[in-house]
Structure 1
Amino acid sequence: MRICIDAGHGGKDPGAVSDGVQEKNINLKIALKLSTKLIGAGYKIIMTRDDDVFVPLYERARLANKKNADVFVSIHNNAAGNSAAAGTETLYYPGSVQGEKLAGLVQKELIRKLQRADRGIKERKELVVLSSTAMPAVLVECSFLTNPVERKLLQDEGFQLLAAESIVDGIEKYFQEVG
């Protein structure tokens, strides 16, 4: 099985920035840990980026499609104007039955291991990495960079590893269910 891992943002696009912490760097750290875990579990990995470079959104989807990925996972972290906003959510493309199934299983594992508020799974039709990928795709919002407690957690290697392990567990449960 081929998994395409997308570390959101990168290069000239920092993503959310809060108290000097840039989302792109946290996303990449989690994505690299996820890659290591999935390779260890026997999966073939396609990375949209493995260092701090900018990759256009359509190029990310094109790469996954060209390499015939079985699943696409985009790693992100949330931001809000209200610093009290907290929790984990997983996004998928509306009408994608398999994307919804994958989102549900990944979200369940993230909540179980990260112990953050469950913001649920949500449909997002406007996100290129969900709408332009030919395989089941999810975008994981691990936690809120703008929440001081979660920002501190996101900078912790152990928390990053837990996020990666949760996503692996969700992917494995997905493949067990779909055969």
Structure 2
Amino acid sequence: MAYKIILDPGHGGSDPGANFNGRQEKDDALALAMAVGKLLTNAGFDVEYTRTADVYNTPFEKAMIANNAGGDLFVSFHRNSSAVPNTYTGVQTLVYNREGLKEKLAENINKNLTAIGFEDKGIVERPNLVVLKRTKMPAVLIEAGFINSDKDNELFDNNFNEIAQGIADAIIDTLDDSGISATDAQVYTIQVGAFRNGQLANNMAAQLKAMQFPAMVVFEDGLYKVRVGEFKSLDNAVEMEQRLRAMGYNTFIRS
């Protein structure tokens, strides 16, 4: 089964996003997402889109489209804006938190786009952003320059193909560094606890194993984390998560 990447052109339809001198964010986002998608498809990845035309879906609907499609990675495309035109410039990538594959991908996207000429506005954690919070897979949101910056618009228009290639290369290189190829599917696991005390984590894992759950303890980011199972199917992971939640565990799916 091919590794599935969900590309999300921001806004759409009745929601144009940011505007500047007749230019609409939704159009730039769609064009860039489609260009990146073509490159990823040619590289052998399974690519799906939250939209391919000028239609509107709520951010929650976009996240559900990605989840229902069984996506392994989610990339959302946007253009930034500021209150006063030509005040700020640069590329910025948003993540739910700076952890794992999504952080590395954000770093590589920013690196590749700054090499084209964009200022690096950094990586920003946005845990309350719906498309980053509700997607059950690693997710990033790219702000590909400021739409109300003449400098950034010139970079965007004159280097469009290079920008698309830079983003596609960042995705491919990040996955390759993580040992993931186009033919690999994402693995999902359910986290049921995180402790500073390793014995507490081991006690929870032992309790789960006694009930025939495939539990393990992983030390990560200074915490002992208790996880259950490794699933290639998101549906199977969701089913396991529901079983654990029904037993009173505070769970979430990791990928």
TM-score bucket (shorter structure) = over 0.9
Q: Which secondary structure does the structure 2 equivalent of 1:134 belong to?
A: coil
Q: Provide the residue aligned with 1:4 in structure 2.
A: 6
Distance (whole Å) between structure 1 residues aligned to residue 41 and residue 53 of structure 2? 18
8 A contact 1:102–1:136 mirrored in 2: no
Q: Provide the residue aligned with 1:152 in structure 2.
A: 154
RMSD (Å), alpha carbons: 1.3
Q: Provide the residue aligned with 1:177 in structure 2.
A: 177
Is 1:40 aligned to 2:42, yes or no? yes
Q: Provide the residue aligned with 1:139 in structure 2.
A: 141
8 A contact 1:29–1:160 mirrored in 2: no
8 A contact 2:117–2:155 mirrored in 1: no
Is 1:107 aligned to 2:71, yes or no? no
Moved over 4 A (4+): none
8 A contact 1:88–1:107 mirrored in 2: yes
Distance (whole Å) between structure 1 residues aligned to residue 167 and residue 155 of structure 2? 17
Q: Provide the residue aligned with 1:129 in structure 2.
A: 131
Distance (whole Å) between structure 2 residues aligned to residue 5 and residue 32 of structure 1? 8
Distance (whole Å) between structure 2 residues aligned to residue 95 and residue 134 of structure 1? 16
Distance (whole Å) between structure 2 residues aligned to residue 79 and residue 87 of structure 1? 10
The alpha-carbon distance between structure 1 residues 55 and 136, as it changes in their structure 2 partners (threshold 3 A), is same
Query: More helix per residue: 1 or 2?
Result: 1
Q: Which secondary structure does the structure 2 equivalent of 1:116 belong to?
A: coil
Q: CA deviation at 1:160?
A: 2.3
Structure 2 length-normalised TM:
0.66
Q: Which secondary structure does the structure 2 equivalent of 1:141 belong to?
A: strand
Q: Provide the residue aligned with 1:72 in structure 2.
A: 74
Aligned residue runs from structure 1 range 10-89, under 5 A: 10-82=12-84, 83-89=86-92
Distance (whole Å) between structure 2 residues aligned to residue 42 and residue 95 of structure 1? 28
> Which amino acid in the other structure matches residue 57 of structure 2?
V
Q: Provide the residue aligned with 2:163 in structure 1.
A: 163
> Which amino acid in the other structure matches residue 177 of structure 2?
E
* Greater RCO structure (CA 8 Å; 6+ sep): 1
Deviations 1:100-135 (A, max 9, x none): 1221122212212x2111111111112111111111
Q: Which secondary structure does the structure 2 equivalent of 1:138 belong to?
A: strand
Stretches of structure 1 that go unaligned for 5 or more consecutive residues are none
Q: CA deviation at 1:159?
A: 2.2
Distance (whole Å) between structure 1 residues aligned to residue 162 and residue 118 of structure 2? 12
> Which amino acid in the other structure matches residue 68 of structure 1?
G
Question: How many corresponding residue pairs?
Answer: 176
8 A contact 1:96–1:136 mirrored in 2: no
Structure 1 length-normalised TM:
0.93
8 A contact 1:7–1:27 mirrored in 2: yes
Stretches of structure 2 that go unaligned for 5 or more consecutive residues are 180-255
The alpha-carbon distance between structure 1 residues 145 and 95, as it changes in their structure 2 partners (threshold 3 A), is closer
> Which amino acid in the other structure matches residue 134 of structure 1?
K
